Structure 1
């Protein structure tokens, strides 16, 4: 058996210096990271930033141009076939058979993977994902949320050790999203490691750790608290009249790195607290606005990172 020596069982993924190019364009640059077993690890970043390419390299589905590492104790270059058998992959697009019933889809997957007692395994999964009473319904007639549950059931039925979720809740209503994430947390508590790419901040906050990737570069990673602290952003929340006008006026001034509307307020942030305070000082006495010192949110951090990474990419 071709396993890698010195593998630590609690580390599911350990990679160093992964780089990948397509058509002469570097999509992922010198990426290193570790993911612990049973962790829900979220990947965020702009579209086309290399998130999916990174996730596929981490588990041997895509061979890096350079770099190395292990996934589930196997070498990502030499043992890709072994790794693939231990991975469940759920894409954004529903990929089961629309003209088969819920039960038929799950029984088919069970037989495909050689799961003992395919009918019993499908029956147990139907109960687990809350689809009792819908067994004979055609998959194509399910709502987005139910399709998502079925897809999750299908990719976890062969009992994978690693689950890849590529924007799994796009176009799904908030309650279905919350139910889905409750199930993901239950699976992680049982030891399943989950890699998920998402655009939703509330989903990012439900991950144990997160990574922000922009144009192939890993710009920030760690727990949500660590990523926010590492941003070194200071933030003011402003309420009052004509916030659009105020935002336009503040954008680009010294010490101000980000201005963004949040509902009926405006978030004004900067990495240099002294320069930020100096710029906003003349506005704080204006009776039209109320300024409050506040903690930066994860969304503040990502808007700031996105703005900076775009500049780096274009420059």
Structure 2
């Protein structure tokens, strides 16, 4: 059985001057017990889709079901089954950690004690600050409190919209360890993120941009579909290097990736020695053939779309 079914959903936002398409005919199926990642940059449509699934936004076209309940007709049933963590910290900042948790437990007619076993590993990390106001917590602590509040009623499905954005790398790693534990307890998790490196932590992923799904598959399968060669190239003058790489006769695309440029060429079409010779005017030149990442695949799909 699918935990979530999304069928041909579209959503637009209108202002006096323009119409923005947030979602363009989106369809997805997420299996029960799956940790599914929706991967894409800001403005790709992730939050709009999450708000529709959380029954706080209506689609213009299409439908969605959560555990066979329709998000429009059966929204009251769905709200008891899901835990929703919005992209922005949305808890009561003037309430303490403990007061926020008690408040959300009361809304769902339960208590902290009744479901403590589900949140204990998370809550123990913030318990020393239980009397601190939520607005005074660090980013990582806010994240853990928000997740505790989303879990307090033992939901069957977690909707986590960019939960690690703006959080330090250590807290990001800890958070994904928490998600793995929750998945092992049978909770279905749909998580969105702009961080491409987090894609490999999911069972399956959907790549999204401009309100469209580019691909849905296992992370390793998406990488295996990449049928080009990639070189990581760096030098002292990265701006001049980028210009030369984009003018190289075999270049399909070239983008900045961290402290290097990723050069994409047709498979077996470029000789590494000839590439080095072409770039000989650059000082401290480094040229390495590398394996593609999810980000490389995403960039290539965007170029194909255009």
Q: Which residue of 1 aligns with 2:299?
A: 303
Q: Which residue of 1 aligns with 2:121?
A: 128
Shift of 1:153: 0.3
Greater mean deviation of Cα atoms: 69-78 or 294-303 = 69-78
Instruction: Label 1:224 to 1:254 Cα distance change in 2 as closer, same or farther (>3 A).
Output: farther
1:147-173 Cα offsets, whole Å, 9 max, x none, are 111111011111111111121122211
Instruction: Label 1:252 to 1:222 Cα distance change in 2 as closer, same or farther (>3 A).
Output: farther
Q: Which residue of 2 aligns with 1:5?
A: none
State the distance in 1 between where 2:94 and 2:22 align: 37
Q: TM-score, normalised by structure 2?
A: 0.85
Q: Which residue of 2 aligns with 1:39?
A: 34
1:87-111 Cα offsets, whole Å, 9 max, x none, are 1111232222222222221111111
State the distance in 2 between where 1:33 and 1:122 align: 31
Q: Which residue of 2 aligns with 1:66?
A: 61
State the distance in 1 between where 2:115 and 2:155 align: 15
Matched, 1:168 2:187: no
Q: Which residue of 1 aligns with 2:270?
A: 277
Q: Name stretches of at least 5 consecutive residues in structure 1 with no aligned partner.
A: 1-7
Q: Which residue of 2 aligns with 1:224?
A: 219
State the distance in 2 between where 1:156 and 1:285 align: 58
1:145-198 Cα offsets, whole Å, 9 max, x none, are 111111110111111111111211222111111111111111111111122221
State the distance in 2 between where 1:241 and 1:137 align: 49
Q: Which residue of 2 aligns with 1:15?
A: 6
State the distance in 2 between where 1:75 and 1:254 align: 53
Q: Which residue of 2 aligns with 1:193?
A: 188
Instruction: Label 1:54 to 1:256 Cα distance change in 2 as closer, same or farther (>3 A).
Output: farther
> Retained in 1: the 8 A contact 2:118–2:154?
no
State the distance in 2 between where 1:55 and 1:233 align: 34
> Retained in 2: the 8 A contact 1:17–1:67?
yes
Q: How many residue pairs were aligned?
A: 296
Q: Name stretches of at least 5 consecutive residues in structure 2 with no aligned partner.
A: none
Shift of 1:75: 2.5
Q: Which residue of 1 aligns with 2:80?
A: 85
Matched, 1:158 2:158: no
State the distance in 2 between where 1:126 and 1:39 align: 19
Q: Which residue of 1 aligns with 2:207?
A: 212
Q: TM-score, normalised by structure 1?
A: 0.83
Matched, 1:137 2:129: no
> Retained in 1: the 8 A contact 2:54–2:159?
no
Instruction: Label 1:254 to 1:159 Cα distance change in 2 as closer, same or farther (>3 A).
Output: farther
RMSD of equivalent CA atoms:
2.6
Q: Which residue of 1 aligns with 2:176?
A: 181
Greater mean deviation of Cα atoms: 102-111 or 73-82 = 73-82
> Retained in 2: the 8 A contact 1:90–1:168?
yes
> Retained in 1: the 8 A contact 2:38–2:205?
yes
What secondary structure sits across from 1:210 in the alignment?
strand
Instruction: Label 1:210 to 1:239 Cα distance change in 2 as closer, same or farther (>3 A).
Output: same
Instruction: Label 1:100 to 1:242 Cα distance change in 2 as closer, same or farther (>3 A).
Output: closer
State the distance in 2 between where 1:297 and 1:71 align: 32
What secondary structure sits across from 2:29 in the alignment?
strand
Matched, 1:103 2:98: yes
